[in-house]
Structure 1
Amino acid sequence: MWSVVLTLTLLLERFASALPVSTAVDLFQEIATTAPDHRFPIIVDHPLQPLGMSKSVISTSTIPTNNFYTNLFLGSRQQPAYLYPYSVWWSQGTNSDYGLAISHTTASQRVFGPNPSANPVEYYYNPVGICSVSFSAAEFDAGMTMSLGSPTAFAVNVTMAPSTSKYGHGRSLYIPLVQGTGFITGIYFNLRPRFNSLVGFQSLTEKTSPRNGIKKYVAKLYDGTSWAIYANVPNGQTFSLSRQSSSSIIASKDVYNVIVQIAKIVDGSESAYDAHAGKYAYHARVYGSAVGSVGTATINYWTLQANNAGNLLLWLLPHHVASMKKGALGFSIDSLSRGKMYAFSTNQIVLQEELPTGIQFEPWTSIPGQKATYTSNALKLITSAAASEIAEDFNAQTNLNSMYYAGKALDKFAMICYVAHSILKNAVMTANCLNKLKQSFALFANNKEIYPLYYDKTYKGIVSSAGILTGSSMADFGATYYNDHHFHYGYHIHTAAVIGYIDTALGGTWVKENKEYVNTLIRDVANPSDADPYFPFSRSFSWFHGHSMAKGLFESADGKDEESSSEDYHHAYAVKLWGQVSGDQSMEARGAMMLAVMRRAMNAYMLMNNTNTIQPQNFIGNKVSGILFENKADHTTYFGTDIQYIQGVHMLPITPASSYIRSPTFVGEEWNSLLSGVAPTLTDGWKGILYANLALYNPKSSYAFFSSSKFSRNYLDPGASLTWYLAYAAGVGGATS
């Protein structure tokens, strides 16, 4: 039933979106709807199959791999889905509770450590497993099942059913999990509703009905919190709840098609809950357009039933609120790791941003008054560096057993080629560099690298074969299991954009010849349309959270995470540039819109200046979040705890997009408080990264470092070149002589 509703609505909206809409550019125009070509061998069954999904669901769906509910089909299936501001999980018998457990924790419950008195603290997290209320049924026991259907970017349908051997077929609890909705909704079919609590029910009180056909109860828990329970009861049925024990509330009898909605009561919320009870969301989809330099993306929630308010009650994150013109209800609730969420009466979340249309290939800075200073001495130094680096063996540095490291190296040489062409304007040097780079890139475009890419028919994506051929799920940073795809492919896409930019300027046809390959990588990480049946919509970037999630098919108690904001926005920047050189206006505008949304979200949650009021005040001194999980923020990395690693992984690579995201104020605070005493002591590639980042705040000091006669190439990591660092620092005002 619900899949039919979803399918029909999709068809109607696709038709509507095809109608002419003035001269606006559609941000979400599909790239292609054809299968990836024969260069990608097919994996029929991924080594890790999604649990709880039927063969029909798997074959007909494009299953998201990097979003909020993947814990529900991985491993034990008991880890939380982070349905902001709540967390929910399949309770399989904890304290005799069977069903979908619901938890909400407040800022006062956060755990700070390892020294909670430190400022800044290293990490904070929210306790997990505190079941305040669960959706259950008298028929649920150890034989119950949980299946998943209609998996999309914003929602998944959960169906819980009792043992068929004991109760037969036709009994189920349907729960649409939709990100950001004010109520968690469950619909009972031929079951006797039960609601359990690990915290314990102190009392249950029936309240005045807010609407004909809706019954209202308030359960007060022993921790002092109260939860509203609304039941939308069809005509001809009766429904009542009673407190069976301190851990259980139960309905008087079996019911059919009774819609129950649960929400935690916070200050000022109860009357708004009354007004919004009855209507629920079962799906959401994002639409958008760009008109000139203004982009608008709207997350549209699809609803069923009715309420007094006429809209849904939605919880919005801080970066959403700036674009919302109306609907604020005046109260908030704590989120898990992204500050407070604010209640709105609306069926849409509107994101409107000024697009960074001026940020293209050339060095760019947000420092007021700065401009390129390519003095004769600067050009001499850049030419010398470029001549030396173009002479290097490109293939030896790029033909690697890692898409990530290969991409970094390819991108390094791409920026050297760009400098030779656009800044030095040296035709001989450009031709030499470009020919070598094309040859190295062709190995990947022909899928002849050490670990070729495969097309996976289970999750519908382009994956590294490294995990299959080595038998390790963490080979190439877990790429076979969808970890970090936007980081990896972002470097390759940006390389292609630079090659295409230069080649087109020289009259070549390289873009046309390589378009399908590059577009396929983009379809994997940033597919803009659910009309494409071969890839999920926006695998990496979350249009709800405003940034990407790097973790793929790995069970995690703290949910999805990301540790490199910079490689995230680098992939969006790459999409924007490839759209530009390939003539895809929708892609170019979409990449720009992603950057604009990231700028707002990342500076709220990941990059914390001294005036940040969203993250805890005893955490913002870290300046970067480190690894930002859905349930935790940890000022560390997966590869080490040195300060240059933690800060630097949020810097690399330095490109024209860096200064757009990382403001001079932020970079200055970070440098002066954490890095100015560390950077001079370093002797490896992290030193170059820190000083290149310094150009976003103090380009003259950055340029002085890279132009010094004492500079050592040991200060360059494998993805960096002296050519680009000199050209960038000078290009944003760093050269004075």
Structure 2
Amino acid sequence: MRKPIDSMKESRRNDPADRSSWALINRSMLPVKLVSAVLVQFVVLVIGSSVLAGEASAIPSIGRVGTGSYARVAPTGARRPPETIYAVDTLCPPFPTNQWWSSVLWTPLSDAHYPHPLAVRAERTGLRVFYPGPQIIVTSRSILASMPGGSEDLTIGHSHIRSFDEARVETYSDWFVTVRFGDFKTGMSLTYGHGSPFVYAQYRGGTARIVFARKPEIWAGSPAEHAVAITVNGKHYALFGPRGSKWIAVDDSTWVNLASESPVFSLALLPEKSEKAFALFSRYAHSRVIGTEVRWQYDPATSSVVTTFNYKTVEYEGSSPGTLFALYPHQWKNTDVKILPYEYASVRGTMKLAEGQSFTTRMTFPGVLPVLPATPSWNRTIVDRYLEEDCTKTRGTTGDTYWEGKWLGRQATLAALATENGNRAVQQKVLRQIQQRLEDWFTAAEEGGRLKSSRLFYYDGRWGTLIGYPAAYGSDTELNDHHFHYGYFLRAAAEIVRYDPSWADASRWGGLLQMMIDDIACRRRGDSHFPFLRCFDVYAGHSWASGHARFADGNNQESSSEAMNAWCALILLGEATYDTALRDLGVYLYTSELYAINEYWFDVSSENRPRSFDKPVVGIIWGGKADYATWFSPRPEAIHGINWLPFHGGALYLGLYPEYVHRNYEALVAHKGGPNWDQWADLIWMYRALDDPQDALRQFSAAAGGFQPESGNSKTNTYCWIHSLLDMGRVDRSVTADHPLYAVFRRGEHRTYVAFNLRTVPVTVHFSDGTQITVPPGSRIAIQRVTKRSP
């Protein structure tokens, strides 16, 4: 699916087994009756640290964390990510793969990447800059806003160096990056980031050299001054040299800045051709962004996530503090920052300009459930029959991390449904299956102590990543899709921990769980072993799937719903283990990705896509385009369904806008010429049930059990999902709760309130409409049905 890259020389790293923080999931909030046990385990860890070190040195290929272990060297026959990493020598692992700019790390000169509203690419002549907004192309299957070949719009180069062999990452922050061309003595460092209309440059041994695609039109300022506004290719830019400098034209399309001191330069994309806009950007021209940082807070009382985006700037040349930034639709629709009267076009919709040193968004967290509850229309005998049928389909040989993960996720849902149906025998059987399978993966050694060749995880210190073998879809050589694969493992672990929280303790399997969590979503900046939030783009609000992003259209993500599966697992694990920081991380990632999905994959408001694009959904979001497509199938069932699966108690967000569910489903029916499903009929019925459960049940019943479920789904889950929604109705997004494990449904004049409690004390859940229910302790559920008329 994606091209592999040549490998290279290894750099030395400290062993992650030495990090004691990995050896436990935070239990500081445990009830008093468990504190003594935790203290005993902590003492055992401290006293046993020398023993573990001895074991690790005796078997240097294996690192031990509690009961679990992982490989310190790649297993026999395993493929690995490349050895050459294009970063400056002073920048050490771990490296942030799966970002919008990651191709800079993977190749001597980058592919196009998309810090909207701009698009940029590191080339031999410097950094090429392009504004795609005015040239968006719409086809029957795509919205294209990519950087074309050639030289448009302009290239930022160096006055004394005409060609660079490579560009390397010099530094980065949460949504900005600095790329160095040349060396520390002669070269240039260029800084740019998501939402920024600026590119900042610092020169060594020379000054700015700008090559335009064609002769620019000058309309403000003057080349005889340090600041000048131009139009090229129909786009408006401003060039800001240091004060006292001037511009000379080498030829019709090449300008060089003449500066005797302080060789700084800033390029700005102007939203319009006006003196007023030029004056605004002049105030911030040399307020250089040197750091960006996101902070989040989950507020249970209002079931909201407050996210703050901070800019750290250094002011040169008398610039004003702060900067200008363009907000995506999911940001400007949910912020109270003052929006300026300037806009940019983008493939994500309109971006709106603001100014300052920070801005904040507030988004509603809709809650998650471990499983949908059993309701009166469940026929317990039928559910038991489906459970027996589904559970006889055991997975024989171990699959790769993706397909093994999907099986683990399927089994976790079956175990939860067996609990709801009161079938303890099946529940225990399936829990034992997934526990044994996870423990096998979390053990790197065979019985004789030798390193296994499969069913294990390997820590790669060059990049700072955890790789599972057998790998799939480039998860080893390209570091693709880790949040998809590992999200299933984590959700299966969450089902175990619902009933046995000690399984995640330090002395057992908590260390390996934490490593897996940290690989996809480490919440600690500056961690010595994993990058901060590897798979998540904090400014775009969603995840990226490709580790290297080596595509002309930038990075991409297909199955947004599998990302949501991972973030739901973090919430459940955090809640069950009293790790509020982990829970809140999951809530932040889940809520942010949810808002991005509804704006960009689904566009539930029909405001962000060109009117000529008539599809209600896109299968893949790219940096430079949106595709009604998948990586694996042209069938419409797959294009729609890949952003639904897997269905579980954390998938109810798909039904927050029933009117959109109806539109999406009807478009799929129209594409097929009727409800004639060639694949994934079970997923389509389950999605349909979020709007019309009666029609979903009619289609399900007509199949008479003769359908083949999608490989990560089951007949049991299909039956139970449809019947639960038949009784409870649509998801009601107008009511929230002060507890993370909740859902509210509406059917006619009836509301159904559902809450789970994974802790060891009763929990009273308060809903925003005044309803409250008390949930018993110990992975228990409470349901309350109330008749309430709408105000």
Following superposition, the deviation at residue 707 of structure 1 comes to: 4.8
1:511-544 deviation per Cα after TM superposition (whole angstroms, max 9, x unaligned): 6632222221111111111142110111111111
Q: 1:70 aligns with which of 102, 122, 130?
A: 102
Instruction: Give the conservation status (yes or no) of the 8 Å contact 2:467–2:475.
Output: no
Q: Equivalent residues in 2 for 1:236-385 (5 A)? A: 238-252=244-258, 255-267=260-272, 269-292=277-300, 293-305=303-315, 309-335=320-346, 337-356=347-366, 358-363=367-372, 373-375=375-377, 378-385=379-386
Instruction: Give the conservation status (yes or no) of the 8 Å contact 2:496–2:503.
Output: no
1:217-241 deviation per Cα after TM superposition (whole angstroms, max 9, x unaligned): 12333x34331111234xxxx4111
CA separation of 1:374 and 1:703: change in aligned 2, threshold 3 A: farther
- Pair 1:651-2:644 in alignment: yes
1:23-81 deviation per Cα after TM superposition (whole angstroms, max 9, x unaligned): 9xxxxxxxxxx998482223589541344324442xx2321111121222333524223
Q: Equivalent residues in 2 for 1:259-658 (5 A)? A: 259-267=264-272, 269-292=277-300, 293-305=303-315, 309-335=320-346, 337-356=347-366, 358-363=367-372, 373-375=375-377, 378-393=379-394, 395-396=395-396, 399-421=397-419, 423-447=420-444, 450-466=454-470, 475-504=472-501, 509=503, 513-609=508-604, 611-619=605-613, 621-658=614-651
Following superposition, the deviation at residue 186 of structure 1 comes to: 0.6
After superposition, the CA RMSD in angstroms is: 2.8
What is the alpha-carbon distance in structure 2 between the residues aligned to residue 137 and residue 480 of structure 1?
34
Which residue identity does 2:144 align to in structure 1?
A: Y
Following superposition, the deviation at residue 82 of structure 1 comes to: 1.6
Instruction: Give the conservation status (yes or no) of the 8 Å contact 1:478–1:484.
Output: yes
Instruction: Give the conservation status (yes or no) of the 8 Å contact 2:288–2:314.
Output: yes
Instruction: Give the conservation status (yes or no) of the 8 Å contact 1:563–1:627.
Output: yes
Following superposition, the deviation at residue 479 of structure 1 comes to: 4.1
Which residue identity does 2:368 align to in structure 1?
A: I
What is the alpha-carbon distance in structure 2 between the residues aligned to residue 477 and residue 47 of structure 1?
9
Larger relative helix fraction: 1
Q: 1:40 aligns with which of 70, 84, 90?
A: 70
Q: 2:163 aligns with which of 122, 125, 142?
A: 142
What is the alpha-carbon distance in structure 2 between the residues aligned to residue 208 and residue 461 of structure 1?
49
CA separation of 1:455 and 1:385: change in aligned 2, threshold 3 A: same
Following superposition, the deviation at residue 491 of structure 1 comes to: 0.8
Q: Equivalent residues in 2 for 1:170-249 (5 A)? A: 170-203=185-218, 206-207=221-222, 215-221=226-232, 223-233=233-243, 238-249=244-255
1:351-405 deviation per Cα after TM superposition (whole angstroms, max 9, x unaligned): 222223x4221328xxxxxxx6333x62221122112323442x41xx4331111
CA separation of 1:687 and 1:530: change in aligned 2, threshold 3 A: same
Instruction: Give the conservation status (yes or no) of the 8 Å contact 2:199–2:268.
Output: yes
1:614-636 deviation per Cα after TM superposition (whole angstroms, max 9, x unaligned): 111222x3221121110011111
Which residue identity does 2:148 align to in structure 1?
A: V
SS of 2:691's partner is coil
Instruction: Give the conservation status (yes or no) of the 8 Å contact 1:576–1:591.
Output: yes
Instruction: Give the conservation status (yes or no) of the 8 Å contact 2:519–2:531.
Output: yes
- Pair 1:49-2:75 in alignment: no
Residue equivalent to 2:121: 89
Following superposition, the deviation at residue 262 of structure 1 comes to: 0.8
What is the alpha-carbon distance in structure 1 between the residues aligned to residue 161 and residue 513 of structure 2?
49
In structure 1, runs of 5+ residues without a counterpart are 1-22, 24-33, 93-97, 114-119, 163-168, 365-371, 468-474
Following superposition, the deviation at residue 207 of structure 1 comes to: 4.9
CA separation of 1:182 and 1:700: change in aligned 2, threshold 3 A: same
CA separation of 1:690 and 1:661: change in aligned 2, threshold 3 A: closer
SS of 1:555's partner is coil
- Pair 1:731-2:724 in alignment: yes
Which residue identity does 2:387 align to in structure 1?
A: A
SS of 2:340's partner is strand
Residue equivalent to 1:11: none
1:76-109 deviation per Cα after TM superposition (whole angstroms, max 9, x unaligned): 52422322211122231xxxxx2211111224x1
Residue equivalent to 1:111: 137
More off after superposition, 244-253 vs 664-673: 244-253
Residue equivalent to 1:28: none
SS of 1:257's partner is coil
Q: 1:695 aligns with which of 689, 692, 700?
A: 689
CA separation of 1:330 and 1:727: change in aligned 2, threshold 3 A: same
Following superposition, the deviation at residue 308 of structure 1 comes to: 5.4
What is the alpha-carbon distance in structure 1 between the residues aligned to residue 571 and residue 682 of structure 2?
26
Following superposition, the deviation at residue 121 of structure 1 comes to: 4.3
What is the alpha-carbon distance in structure 1 between the residues aligned to residue 136 and residue 580 of structure 2?
45
Which residue identity does 1:302 align to in structure 2?
A: K
What is the alpha-carbon distance in structure 2 between the residues aligned to residue 657 and residue 54 of structure 1?
42
What is the alpha-carbon distance in structure 1 between the residues aligned to residue 415 and residue 141 of structure 2?
43
Following superposition, the deviation at residue 510 of structure 1 comes to: 5.8
What is the alpha-carbon distance in structure 2 between the residues aligned to residue 625 and residue 454 of structure 1?
35
Instruction: Give the conservation status (yes or no) of the 8 Å contact 1:276–1:309.
Output: yes
CA separation of 1:503 and 1:702: change in aligned 2, threshold 3 A: farther
1:248-296 deviation per Cα after TM superposition (whole angstroms, max 9, x unaligned): 011235x443321111222263232122222120221111222322321
1:164-196 deviation per Cα after TM superposition (whole angstroms, max 9, x unaligned): xxxxx7233221223222311112233132111
Following superposition, the deviation at residue 683 of structure 1 comes to: 5.1
What is the alpha-carbon distance in structure 2 between the residues aligned to residue 229 and residue 597 of structure 1?
35
What is the alpha-carbon distance in structure 1 between the residues aligned to residue 477 and residue 696 of structure 2?
38
SS of 2:409's partner is helix
Number of positions where the alignment pairs a residue of Structure 1 with one of Structure 2: 646
Following superposition, the deviation at residue 545 of structure 1 comes to: 0.7
SS of 1:83's partner is coil
What is the alpha-carbon distance in structure 1 between the residues aligned to residue 607 and residue 209 of structure 2?
40
CA separation of 1:203 and 1:636: change in aligned 2, threshold 3 A: same
What is the alpha-carbon distance in structure 2 between the residues aligned to residue 733 and residue 401 of structure 1?
36
Instruction: Give the conservation status (yes or no) of the 8 Å contact 1:189–1:256.
Output: no
In structure 2, runs of 5+ residues without a counterpart are 1-28, 30-48, 50-62, 445-451, 730-791
SS of 2:69's partner is coil
SS of 1:82's partner is coil
What is the alpha-carbon distance in structure 2 between the residues aligned to residue 431 and residue 145 of structure 1?
57
Instruction: Give the conservation status (yes or no) of the 8 Å contact 1:125–1:632.
Output: yes
Residue equivalent to 2:709: 716
Q: Identity percentage over the alignment?
A: 20
What is the alpha-carbon distance in structure 1 between the residues aligned to residue 728 and residue 87 of structure 2?
59
Instruction: Give the conservation status (yes or no) of the 8 Å contact 1:46–1:458.
Output: no
Which residue identity does 2:127 align to in structure 1?
A: L
Instruction: Give the conservation status (yes or no) of the 8 Å contact 1:328–1:342.
Output: yes
Instruction: Give the conservation status (yes or no) of the 8 Å contact 2:118–2:129.
Output: yes
- Pair 1:664-2:648 in alignment: no
1:191-215 deviation per Cα after TM superposition (whole angstroms, max 9, x unaligned): 1321111233244863599xxxx93
Residue equivalent to 2:39: none
SS of 2:572's partner is helix
What is the alpha-carbon distance in structure 2 between the residues aligned to residue 453 and residue 509 of structure 1?
19
